[in-house]
Chains A and B, each alone.
Chain A
Amino acid sequence: MSENSSSATKKISTYLTMIVLIVLALSMVALISSVNLMVEGNEIAAGYLLIIGLIAMALSLYVMIQSRRRIAEMKIEAPKVMTTIECRKCGFKSLREFQRGDFVFKELEPCQKCNEKMMITAIYKEVREREKTFAF
C-alpha cells in the first residue's frame, strides 16, 4: 500500500519534470529561431520570439526550483539529540550524541577521574531559532 502510494507521488514529480523539460526545450528552440530570424533581418519576429523564449525559460526554471523546494520540505528532519553525562562526586561532565537505550538518571560506566559511577543527567536537542522577531 505504502510503496504504491509513494511511487504515485514520484510519478507526479516525473510528469512535472517532463513538462518542464519540454517547455525548456521549446524555449531554447524559440531563442535559437530568434537568433536565426535576426540574422535574416526579420527583427520584429526575432524580438517576439526572444521575449517568448525568455519568459518560457524563466517560468520553467521557476517551476523546477519550486518543485525541488517542495521535495526538500517533505523530508522529516531528525534533530541532533545530545546526552549529558555527569559524575555526581567530582562533577566531571561530558556530552555525547544520544544512543538508543539512554534515559535520564541511567547509571553508566565509572568516571575517568574518580572511578565513581557516572549518570545521564540530561537529554535534549538544541534548536537554532529561525523565528521572525516582532515588535511586541
Chain B
Amino acid sequence: MLAVLPALTGQLGGAGDSISQILSILFYVIFIVFLFYGQRIQMYVMIREVEGSLYKLKYIKDEGRRIAIETIKELGKPQTDPSARVDRYLDYFTITPQSMDPAGIVYKLDHILDVRDTRLKDEVKLMAPASDEVQINNLENTLEAAMALNYIYKVVRHYYIQGKKTLSLYIIMQLQMILPLVMKEAEAYASALKAFAYGQPIGDGVGPLVAAKLMHGYETRKVPKDCVVAEVPLEGRTALVMKAEGPGGNVGKPGDAIKAVIDENKGKIAAVIMIDAGLKLEGEMVGEVAEGVGAAIGGPGVDQFKIEEALVDYHIPIYAVIVKEDIGDAVSPMRKEISDSVDRVIERVKSVILERTKEGDKVIIFGVGNTIGIGQ
C-alpha cells in the first residue's frame, strides 16, 4: 500500500488535468441534480426511515397477535382455533357520540363505552370458555393492547402509502416527525402485552396498590361498578378506601363508585383524595410523588365528569396525589421505583388528611388505575 501511494500521487500529477476536469464535471452534475431533485432525494431518505419503522411496527403488531392467540389457547382451552375471532376483535371500532349539540354527551359516551365493554367481554368469553373472571379480564386487556398496536400500524401504513402515492413531502415529513413518539407508544404497548398475558401489575396500578395496602386486612364490599370499598380507621378519621376489584385487569368505574359512596353517606364526606399515576416530564424521576388538587383520573373523561359533578353537589374538596412515570412505565410491568413509592404516597395521604380534615371526619381515598396483579 505504501509503495502504491507515491506511484499514484506521481501519476496524478501527470494526469491531473483530466482528473480535475472529471471532478469538476462531477461536481456540476451533483450540484444540478441536488438543485432540481434535492427535495425528492430528501423525501426518499424520509420514506426509507418511515419504512424501517413500519417494518418494526409490523413485527410488533404480529407478535401482539401471536401472544394474544397463544394466551387464549393456553388459558381458555377453546374447541376451535380462535385466530379468526381474534382478527375480528383487532379490527373492532367504537363510534363516539355526535357532539354538534354537546348537552348530555357524557352520558351518551358512557353508554357507548358500557356497550363496548360488555360486547368485548362477551367476545372474550366466547374465545376462552374455560377462563375464570380474573383471566377473562386479563385476556381482555391483552387483546386491547394488541388492538392498539394493530391500529397504530394501520394508521402509520396509511400515511406512508398516501405519501408514496402522492409523493407529497409534507405528508411524509409530518409522519417522519411524529414517528419517534409513535414508536415509543408502540413499544410501550408491546411490553404491556406480556404483562397483561401473565397478569403482572403494571405501572398504572400504583393507585390501586396504595389503596390495597391501606385496606388490606379490613372487610371489603363491592360498589358499582367493579370496585370495592373498605372502612379503615386512619389518623383518627374514617377512611373509605376504594379501588377497582382485583387481581384481574380492571379499572372499574370510579365515577359511579365515588358517587355511590357519597350518596350513601348523604354527602357527609370531608374530603376526597385520589391517587393515580401521572405522566412525568423528561428530566423528572420515575416514582417521584407530587400533590395537588382536582380529580386525578385519565381515560375519556366520563369518570372525571361524574366525580366533579358529585363533589360540586355537596361542596366536597378534592385532593390528588400522583406518582410520576412515563407512558412506557405506565403500561409495562411495575418498576421497583414505583413499587417503592407506595409508602411515601401513604405518608403524603396521611399528611393531607391531618392538615385538611378534623378528627372523626369521613374521607374517601380512591386508588385509580388498572388493578391487574393486585388483590385487596
Contact = CB atoms under 8 A, between A and B. Distances in A.
Interface stretch (B118-126, B194-202, B225-233, B360-368): B194-202
Contact of B8 (A9, A44, A79, A125): A44
Contacts of A1: 87
Contact of B374 (A6, A105, A126, A134): A105
Contacts of B3: 43
Contact of B62 (A5, A12, A98): A5
B308 interface: no
User: What band does the interface of chain A fall in when counting residues whose beta carbon is under 8 Å from B?
Assistant: 35 or more
A13 B238 CA distance: 64
B11 A104 contact: no
Interface string A70-102: 100110111101000000000000000010111
B332 A44 contact: no
Given A43-B8, A102-B373, A105-B376, A122 B339 contact: yes
Nearest to B334: A124
Interface SS majority for chain B: helix
Interface stretch (B22-30, B51-59, B158-166, B270-278): B51-59
Contact of A50 (B1, B56, B66, B246): B1
Contacts of B336: 124-127
Contacts of A106: 247, 375
Given A9-B59, A102-B373, A106-B375, A79 B191 contact: yes
Interface string A1-41: 11001100100100000000000000000000000001000
B200 A81 contact: yes
B353 interface: no
B183 to A, nearest CB: 10
A103 B334 contact: no
A123 B208 CA distance: 13
A2 B62 contact: yes
Given A98-B198, A104-B212, A123-B200, A79 B375 contact: no
The 4 A-B residue pairs with the shortest CB-CB distance, nearest first, are A103-B247, A105-B375, A124-B339, A43-B7
Interface of A: 1-2, 5-6, 9, 12, 38, 43-44, 46-47, 50, 70, 73-74, 76-79, 81, 98, 100-106, 122-127, 134, 136
Interface of B: 1, 3-5, 7-8, 11, 52, 55-56, 58-60, 62-63, 65-66, 87, 190-191, 193-194, 198-201, 209, 212, 216, 246-247, 283, 332-336, 338-339, 373-376
